[in-house]
Structure 1
């Protein structure tokens, strides 16, 4: 499913109206029906319930006016709080406002903060607030009576249904524009907006409902400027195929990991387990020779390759010939988890980037080893996926973690375009960037996954999928979605608090089997 900016959605609406001849008031009516349906679900029995609609003067308010009409027709006691002069309304919003006036619905103008004093009293006993104040077209900072209304709504303890996007949230980047409504449910129209999935806005959205308002399919399909897409179950379903009954272990790919150092054997273990539990037929782990005995005990299904090391259990440059030999016998390479960046390691990583001729995944210390010269990624011989967390991405791009987090889409797009890689920017709602400018936002995962080792598991999954023959983009998309889904499944069994990377690993086979069916 496409995900759009506010401007892109306005252009889609414009095309539907001007090129297909759908009156704007029809789109507004359809939007209002989607809001009404969501309100019914939240209220249960509608008749006799008290609903306050907080509305602005634009189309967002118009959606609210029309929804108020439907609720009143079903027996709800509806009042409207208007954050504009009645005389300032125009277009489709005015049409729907005139209808509720003719129906006799109470409307209270809130032009200054003092006008909200009576609204506070009306909130007593209300069952639902509909937030239809600002919508996705917000410019500037929320202030004056609207800002006071946001506080009133958030402090009320009454369930909140936001129209299109919570008022005060930027539809383009999820920014809080001074203050924002915290919704329990948000109904958006046509296509989801970036701000629904980018934090902090994602934290204000609540349950997101994507409402069909009758925009012709061809309007979206013909709009070539949309670069964003959600990673959804349907997107991934076609990538996981059922296995042939006469398959053997070589059918599902030989993958090689270069990972681990003294004190960081767990990262290497989790990457290998992530690959094994994602279906790799043969997994080999190259490690500094002094920790090989530990890894032989930890790993029973994967093979280990002891490699030359420097003092302290750190990989030596003398390991390169043996590593390249193993690379030639493998179909995918994962580098970085627990590898360290000390001594010879950066040189080894850079040599692999230049010389490895199989698809590779670069994570953690592999990325930190390239931070002083990330342009070396341009010299590689095979497709690559990088999987930085925000701090690692900041080091690669020469910026700060805060700046990366402020524009996660832009950071993923910049890295992917600059170095010609698939860039997986980890975090809540992971963003995947493609060199051609496309980006993808993941829709699975939960806060319980914010624990050590989960990124190593993701490296294992993506490397496994590459080894099984997926393209670098498909492996990244399937990897982040299934990784998050396994975390969601594991959290249902064990709760988010205390969830471990090992719990995610153990859930992977059952999650993947769902797609095979």
Structure 2
């Protein structure tokens, strides 16, 4: 297993600047006419519209002044040609249109689209339009816009979100930063986002994961231009289906000694469940052996819940070295607390030099001391823990999650897995990885403990590839949560539901012929 496996071009995630340069390269160096490319994008977006919402009308198409607005005018023209009723509003005055966007407006008008200037519409009339339509096309603000939307865009975005109508966002939802996934002000809540040329990293992490809806990628047949432009992606999009073959394969004569021994050090008084969740998740994720070092009062409950784990009651840090000696990977931190007991546990883990996954209170304790940089550690902070490690505040982390994860990795070494919608995995190599997808059911206590156990088990099975183990851990965790929530819903999802779904997910990576081999 390589330290970091590359992804396909279709999974490459670019910054907004890179996508604009790719677009410019395709037009200037490959001789593709810019207006033809805009028409191709509009046709692709319209096709997606009619597939998702067949026969829906009337449509409201909201257009800005740039090329994003040009896409909107041409989408409106496509809709009119197909006999759909269309309200088209120029949110930015048409007198500001230039270049291909101006050509698009002219073509739309020639094709019978009635374009209304927003400035000519009263507030009651605008409210009436939103009440009449069944679908909104957002073509207001493109990748060239950053910061909070200004008026009148902010007000129109607010109208869209209050209307309750589904929104098709063209290239990205207006108000979203295409590079960072942050939204500094009003942002469109899209049901579907159709994005072109290159996938934008901001659509897959942070606010992007919450406001883009279903993201559909249209390459517009310029893949060769993307490859030849020499633009480097910011990240690679990783999903369970694309990484499941990274899991180590097992021979028919496999035994537990080949798949690592995970030691979970966790669970101060009152937090015994955290260590148990991590240990059980490790056992369900293929670790050959799992041990749990926790407070003595948690031993009985742990054995009752997870008898496959070897559970040890530990009172003092001096009792830990013997357990560390036989471990392949240590998961340290869930429910560990920041008292003297937790400090002793972390100190022993760090001094052992063992490969480790540090989570929760291990990270909080780490933030109060001089940074410990190590190539053999995986840190799994949520944004609050990341902020403490970086000595900043959570909004600064969320303003650019890729930058935050990258900075953490440069300070602490190893691999940093920054949790959240669109989990970032930074390993010191470029590009970073993003675990694509999100699940609101995971917003409950204990989910991070499960992730640390999964990641520790995978790291124990592929000790030479912590980056791959971290990517796999995030992908498996999310996929298991999605499987569990498909049955139980989001609001009632709890960490043990995710653990119970792990075998079903991991089974997909197993050759059917290897699952059992009975006597003939």
Is TM more than 0.5 here? yes
Which residue in the other structure is 1:472 paired with? 466
Matches within 5 A, 1:102-121: 102-111=110-119, 114=121, 118-121=125-128
Q: Distance in 2 between matches of 1:115 and 1:97?
A: 22
Which stretches in structure 2 are left out of the alignment for 5+ residues?
1-10, 512-520
| Contact 1:17–1:24 (8 Å) recurs in 2 | yes
2:13 matches 1:3: yes
Please report the TM-score for the alignment, with normalisation by the length of structure 1. Answer: 0.90
The alpha-carbon deviation at position 123 of structure 1 amounts to 4.3
Could you list the runs of 5+ residues in structure 1 that have no partner in the other structure? Answer: 310-315
Task: Give distance in 2, aligned partners of 1:173 and 1:115.
Answer: 35
CA distance in 2, matches of 1:467, 1:150: 48
The answer to whether 1:411 aligns with 2:418 is: no
1:35 aligns with 2:45: yes
The equivalent of 2:5 in structure 1 is none
1:331 aligns with one of 328, 335, 344: 328
Q: Relative to structure 2, which stretch is displaced further, 473-482 or 181-190?
A: 181-190
State the partner residue of 2:283.
276
Q: Aligned to 2:233, what secondary structure does the other structure show?
A: coil
Which aligned pairs between 1:86-485 and structure 2 lie closer than 5 A? Answer: 86-111=94-119, 114=121, 118-217=125-224, 219-220=226-227, 223=230, 225-307=232-314, 309=315, 316-325=316-325, 329-356=326-353, 358-375=354-371, 377-378=372-373, 380=374, 383-436=376-429, 438-469=431-462, 471-485=465-479
TM-score, normalised to structure 2's length? 0.90
Measure the CA separation in 2 of the matches of 1:221 and 1:152. 42
Cα contact 1:256–1:285 (8 A) shared by 2: yes
Q: Contact 2:174–2:187 (CA<8 Å) still a contact in 1?
A: yes
Contact 2:14 2:232 survives alignment (8 Å):
no
CA distance in 2, matches of 1:95, 1:354: 67
Q: In structure 2, what is the Cα distance between the partners aligned to 1:129 and 1:320? A: 60
Cα deviation, 1:81-104, whole Å, max 9, x if unaligned, reads 113443432222222222222223
Q: Distance in 2 between matches of 1:288 and 1:124?
A: 60
What RMSD over aligned residues (CA atoms) do the two structures have, in Å?
A: 2.3
Q: CA deviation at 1:204?
A: 2.4
Cα offset, 1:459, TM superposition: 0.8
Distance 1:345 1:52 in 2: 58
CA shift, 1:241, in A, is 4.6
Of stretches 12-21 and 150-159 in structure 1, the one that deviates more from structure 2 is 150-159
Show the counterpart of 1:65. 73
Q: Using CA pairs under 8 Å that are at least 6 residues apart, name the structure with larger relative contact order, 1 or 2.
A: 2
1:502 aligns with 2:496: yes
Inter-partner Cα distance in structure 2 for 1:154 and 1:413: 33
Q: 1:361 to 1:79 in 2, by over 3 A?
A: same
Cα gap change, 1:261/1:391 in structure 2, threshold over 3 Å: closer, same or farther?
same
TM-aligned CA distance change 1:77 to 1:244, over 3 Å? same
| Shift, 1:385, TM fit | 0.2
Structure 1's 19 and 276: CA in aligned 2 closer, same or farther, altered over 3 A? Answer: same
- Asked whether the equivalents of residues 346 and 370 of structure 1 are also in contact (C-alpha less than 8 Å), the reply is no
Cα distance in structure 2, aligned partners of 1:105 and 1:396: 54
Q: CA deviation at 1:247?
A: 1.1
Give the secondary structure class of the aligned counterpart of 1:142: coil
Q: Which moved more, 1:193-202 or 1:333-342?
A: 193-202
C-alpha contact (below 8 Å) 1:413/1:437 kept by paired residues:
no
Query: Comparing 169-178 with 49-58, which one deviates more in the overlay?
Result: 169-178
Structure 2 CA distance, aligned partners of 1:262 and 1:411? 32
CA distance in structure 2 between the partners assigned to 1:118 and 1:394 by the alignment: 46
The answer for the alignment partner of 1:74 in structure 2 is: 82
1:401 to 1:142, Cα distance in 2 relative to 1, 3 A: closer
